[in-house]
Amino acid sequence: MPVYSFALKIGGVDVTTYGVIVSDLPNNWDAPAISYPEVQIPGRRGTVRTSAKRQYAPTDYVVKGNLIGTSPSDFESKRDALHLATLGDAVLIGGNQTARQRTGSVTSIQYPQLYPSAAQAPILITVHCEDPIAYATSATTVTGSSGSDLACAVGSEDSFPVVTATSPTSPLVITYKNHAGTTIATATITFPGSPATIVVDMLLQRVTAAGVRHDEYLTAGDFFALSPVDAVGGSPTVRISSGSASIVYTQAFR
């Protein structure tokens, strides 16, 4: 039977520093609820979806553990330090996927009961994740030359890449394809001169040329995400029409 470990970091510090031993994260594997933008149209039953963009409900994750002190006074000191630390961001790392994490904030700390010595107590810590998606703890980087379909492995949720073209020529066309080679989206960047780099940030939806922002250089197409829908049977790909490519993104998991 597999043994799973769980970790909670607050402000970048593991809670073991405050005497908390994490024993369980019972809803670690729960997927957040999905919804879509929708409107009610008079005279029609139900609602109508206005976008295919998925939205996720904020999710509360409950961390179970024990707060352990060496004495009643040490217990109180550790408790005070923990409560002060919870003003920072909380990072949850759970199960056997230690390279994934969720980020949120501590909204509740409860002590169901004190042990007889009053130096230890079971503890329940609730972490509220406005964005309940789990992200890889390190970014993925894919590099290659122009004219090549560069495979980009994704998780179970959309990832938004930063595409950098070094020594490109205008117009620069960025092409996104599914695993079967079908074009899903393109972005055409038209620019004057010969900038050393063109950087297209798909999440922030901005274009920079040699470090200067020029969103107006996007003259056709649109920004896109790397989608697991396009990865069934393989990996989606990104191609640039000139220069050398660097594609940086963080894998995401629902």
- For residue 118, what pLDDT is reported? 82
Query: For residue 7, what pLDDT band results from cuts at 50, 70 and 90?
Result: confident
Grouping H, G, I as helix, E, B as strand and the rest as coil, residue 14 is strand
Q: What is the pLDDT of residues 193-202, one digit of tens each?
A: 999 999 999 9
Residue 116 predicted with pLDDT over 90: no
Q: What is the pLDDT of residues 133-182, one digit of tens each?
A: 999 999 999 999 999 999 999 999 999 999 999 999 999 999 999 999 99
Tell me phi and psi for residue 186, to 5 degrees.
-135, 155
Q: How far apart are CA 240 and CA 35, in angstroms?
A: 34
Pairing of strands 183-189, 150-151: unpaired
Contacts for 110-116: CB closer than 8 Å, 24+ residues apart: 111/67
What is the longest distance spanned by two Cα atoms in the chain?
75
Q: What is the pLDDT of residues 38-51, one digit of tens each?
A: 999 888 888 988 98
Residue 162 · residue 249 · CB < 8 Å: yes
Give the predicted TM-score (pTM) of the model: 0.86
